[in-house]
Amino acid sequence: MSTAALDQEKDSELTKDQQIAVNHFVKNMLSNVNTGEALSLIPFNELANLVRHQVVQQAKAQVEQMSDEELSNLLKEISGQTTA
């Protein structure tokens, strides 16, 4: 499944019980795979896209949790860096 398809599904509104079950399966599956095996199954570009997607999601979550003042201060800091 491509990263774009994952974006479109966007957590498909799972119930809390379903999320618990999914997490259980993920933990079980990941405990049976070592890093080398996992990386050998994924082309590098796909891995880079998955990492990029995850980083973007974390950044969005961080920004959403910021107050208006924190966001304003960050934007001022960014603006100062680009003009310097």
Alpha carbons 44 and 38: distance in angstroms, whole number: 11
Q: Residues 57, 62, 65, 70: is their CA dihedral positive or negative?
A: negative
pLDDT per residue rounded down to tens, the chain (84 residues): 454 454 335 556 788 999 899 999 888 887 888 878 878 888 989 989 999 999 999 999 999 999 999 999 999 999 888 665
Task: Note the pLDDT of residue 69.
Answer: 96
Task: Note the pLDDT of residue 12.
Answer: 66
CB 84 within 8 Å of CB 77: no
Burial class (CB in 10 A: 0-12, 13-18, 19+), 80: exposed
Query: Does the reported pTM lie above 0.75?
Result: no
Task: Note the pLDDT of residue 71.
Answer: 95
